[in-house]
Structure 1
Amino acid sequence: MAFTRAAGKHRLPSRTKRTTRRTVGVAALATTGVVGTLAAPALAAEESPVEQTGLTQAVTLGDSVAQEIDAQAAAQQQAAAQAAAREKAEAAAKVRAEEAAAKAKARAEKEREAKARAAREAERKRLNAYTAPITGSYVSTGYQAGGGIWSSGSHTGIDFHAASGTAVHAVGSGTVVEAGWGGSYGNQVVIKMNDGTYTQYGHLSSIGVSVGQTVTPGQRIALSGATGNVTGAHLHFEARTTAEYGSDMDPVAYLRSHGVNV
C-alpha cells in the first residue's frame, strides 16, 4: 500500500527554500552593516563550508564599508576644522591689518595737522614780525634833530644811510595808502600797519607798490634815492599815528617796541 505525505502547514520547507531564505537574510544584514557575531556560529552549525565562506565574505565586506565611511567622515571633520581655523586666522589677520591701517592713517592725519598748525603759526609770526627798512644800515640822522633845513624846525623822522638804488623794505604787514610824490619828501610811500599805526618812506628814486596793495614784513616796496628836499641820497623813515604829516612819533622807539634793533 502506498503512503502519501499529507499537505498542509505541517509540511517542512524544502532544503532549497531554506537555503534561499538564509542567503537573503545574510545579504540583508551585510547591506545594512548590521551583521551580528552570534549569526556566524548558528549558520556555521548547519551550513556547508561553501555557505560559511559566503557568510564570512559578507561580514568582511560590511566591516570594510563601515570603516571606509568612518575614515571619510573623520577626514571631512578634520578638513572642516582646518578650514574653520584658516578662516578664523585670515579674519583675525584682516582685522589686525585694518587696525594697523587705521592707526597709520590717524598718525598721518595728526602729522599733517601738526605741520599745518606749525605752518600757520610760522606765517602768523612772520606777518606780525617787524624788520628794518634798510638791511645792514644805520641811523645817520636822529629823530627831532634841529636845523634850518627842516620846515618844522626839527627832524620828524630818522634817516638811514643808503646809496641811491638801495632796496627799501616794508617794516611790517599793512596796506599802502599813499604811493607817489610827497612835496619835500620827494617820492614817498605811506603804509597803514596792521596794528593801526602808519609808516612813511621818503626821498625814493622809484616806487614799486600802489595804493591799496597789501605788503608783508621785509617786502621790497621801493628804491632809495635823493628826490625832494635833500642834500644827498638816503632813506627818510617816519612812524606816525595817522597818515598825515605832524602825527609823528619816535621811529627808533617804535621799531624797538616791535623787536627791531636799530
Structure 2
Amino acid sequence: MAFSCASGKNRPSGKHRKPGRFERTTARAAGVAALTATGVVGTLAAPALAAEPAAEQTGLMPVVAVEDTIALQIDAQAAAQERAAAEAAARKQAAEEAARHLAAEKAKEEREAKERAAREAERKRLLSYVSPIAGSYVSTSYQSGGAVWSSGSHTGIDFHAASGTSVHAVGAGTVVEAGWGGAYGNNVVIKMNDGTYTQYGHLSSIGVSVGQTVTPGQQIGLSGATGNVTGAHLHFEARTTAEYGSDIDPVAYLRSHGVDI
C-alpha cells in the first residue's frame, strides 16, 4: 500500500480516502433524486436532508435577505423624499400665503391712506374760501359815500364783472334767500358754515334755490345789472345776520378766510 506525506501525516489515497463534504452533499442529493424518481422515499430521508443547513444546500437565503434589505432601504429613501417634498411644498405655500397677506395689508394701508388724504383734502376744500368773481378786482370799496345808496354809504363791495360772468359761493353754506331783493335786484343770500352770511346782488340769473347747500367755488348765478345800478357788476356783502344793516367789512372778511384780495 502506498502513502503520501504532504502534511506530515499519513493520508490514505484512492478508494480508501474519506469523502469530502462537497462529495457527501452531492452524493446525498443524488441519492434523494434517485429515490424520488423510483417513488421510494423513506421515513429517514427528510431528517437526513434536513441535517444540512438550507443555506449550504442552495445559497438562496442570503441573497433573498440582501434583496429584502435593499428594498427596505429604497422604500425608506422614497418615503423620506416624499416627506421632504411635502415639507418643501408646505413651506412654499406658507411663504406664498404670507406674501399675499403682506401684499393685501400693504394695499389696504395704501387705500386707507388715499382715503384719508381725500377726506382731508375735501375737508380743507369745504373750509376754504374763494373770491366770488375769479380774476376780478374791487371797483367800489366798502362804506364809500354817495347819494346812490339809500343808507348814505356802500354796505358792501363791488366786483368788476361784465354781464353774464360766473358768480361763485365764496365758501360752504346753505342758501337762505334766492330771488328778487329790491334795490339789490336778483340776489342770493347764503348762511355760511361758520355762522356768518354772504350776499350776491344785481344778478342777471340765479342758479340755486332756498335750502340748497353749496360748496366753495360753486356757481350760484351770473352777474348782471338788475336792481338799483348804473352798470353791470357784482355787489357782495358779508353780514352777521341775513338782514340788511348787519354788514361787516367784506374785504377783511375774505382776507381772514385766506382769500387774496
Q: What's the TM-score, normalizing by structure 2?
A: 0.82
Give aligned pairs, total.
221
Task: Quote the Cα distance in structure 2 between the aligned partners of 1:20 and 1:150.
Answer: 146
Task: Name the structure 1 match of 2:231.
Answer: 232
Q: Residues 34-66 of structure 1, C-alpha deviation per residue, up to 9 Å, x if partnerless?
A: x4xxxx5xxxxxxxxxxxxxx1x2xx1111111
1:105 aligns to 2:99 (yes or no)? no
Which residue does 1:82 correspond to in 2?
81
SS at match of 1:191: strand
1:19 deviates by: 3.4
Alpha-carbon distance in 2 for matches of 1:204, 1:132 = 16
* Alpha-carbon shift at residue 93 of structure 1 (Å): 1.0
Does the alignment pair 1:73 with 2:96? no
User: Cα distance, 1:25 vs. partner?
Assistant: 5.5
1:242 alignment partner, SS class = coil
1:62 matches 2:88: no
Does residue 21 (structure 1) correspond to residue 47 (structure 2)? The answer is yes
Question: 1:157-200: per-residue Cα shift (whole Å, max 9, x none)?
Answer: 00000010000000000000000000000000000000000000
Match of 2:17 in 1: none
Question: Per the alignment, do residues 25 and 140 of structure 1 end up closer, same or farther by CA in structure 2, a change over 3 Å counting?
Answer: farther
Q: 1:25 & 1:101 partners in 2: Cα distance?
A: 73
Instruction: Quote the residue 1:201 is aligned against.
Output: 200
Give the alignment of 1:116-195 within 5 angstroms. 116-195=115-194
SS across alignment from 1:137: coil
Are the structure 2 counterparts of residues 64 and 252 from structure 1 closer, same or farther at C-alpha, using a change threshold of 3 Å?
A: same
Supply the distance in 1 between the matched residues of 2:149 and 2:112 (Cα, whole angstroms): 55
Cα distance between partner residues in 2 of 1:25 and 1:67: 25
Alpha-carbon distance in structure 2 between the residues aligned to 1:254 and 1:138: 15
What SS class does the counterpart of residue 241 from structure 2 fall into?
coil
Aligned to 1:248: 247
Quote the RMSD (CA, aligned, Å). Answer: 1.4
Structure 1 unmatched runs, 5+: 1-14, 41-54
Q: How is 1:6-45 mapped onto 2 (pairs within 5 angstroms)?
A: 16-24=42-50, 30=54, 35=55, 40=56
Aligned-residue offset at 1:17:
4.1
Secondary structure in structure 2 of the residue aligned to 1:92: helix
Q: How many Å apart are 1:91 and its aligned residue?
A: 1.1
Query: Which whole-Å CA distance do the structure 2 matches of 1:25 and 1:223 have between them?
Result: 128
